[in-house]
Structure 1
Amino acid sequence: MAAVSTDRLKEVVQLLWEGVYEASFRGKSRGRFAITREQLRVALKVERLHTSTVRALQDRALRKGLVIIDLDDLFACVETNVVRGYRRPPADLFTRLCDQYVKATEDEADTSDEEIEEDDDDA
């Protein structure tokens, strides 16, 4: 099966951005939306939706200002400026949480390594 053309990817990004994101529906004049895998497959005119195709579409959309998030059964689409406006944790909170996580995973890794070595010996 042939790969999705660059032109088709451009068309679908334009459809998602100008056709859907800017459209008025479900009580909103414009904005974020979600589409199903089937809807995306139909838009791309493919029988099967491959990971490489989704990634190529995500890359092209991101360059145009649209984030497409693969949530397995559907794709969430939101403007990059909206995502850039999300709150960020303070540096001290993030550092503290990461330090706690690293410490916890180091303790687990010591135990996990022993278990894995035992499993390898049984093989």
Structure 2
Amino acid sequence: MEKPDDVDRGFAALADPVRRAIVARLSRGPATVGEIAEPFDISLQAVSRHLQVLEDAGLVSKGRDAQRRPVRLEPAALERLTAWIDGYRIAAERSFRRLDALLAEDPQAPPAAPSGTDPTTPRRRDR
């Protein structure tokens, strides 16, 4: 089980759009700081600070490949964040299924709105 601090650090790191863009870039493969910085209108030092936040959260790691120092995405860390979210999504889906079942049993309940319609909009009744 993931510690709350790890989850907090992971989501805090991903709260910044530059860091999300860096994660998106690294999802295509390892890259150096210079390669990561290319699309951004910020300094290499600022990119390095963003990478440090991502590394502190465990989302990326820095390696050594001869003279290159590639930064790699740590997919397991992203999977842990996804699993945390999925736990809440699954619980919400269960609640909605129970509510649907209760409404299906109640003859006084209004019929479910067809997909793609707004259930709060009054329906026209044919007379």
- The alignment's TM-score, normalised by the length of structure 2, stands at 0.32
Q: Which one has the bigger strand percentage?
A: 1
- The alignment's TM-score, normalised by the length of structure 1, stands at 0.33
Q: Which one has the bigger helix percentage?
A: 1
**Higher radius of gyration, 1 or 2:** 2
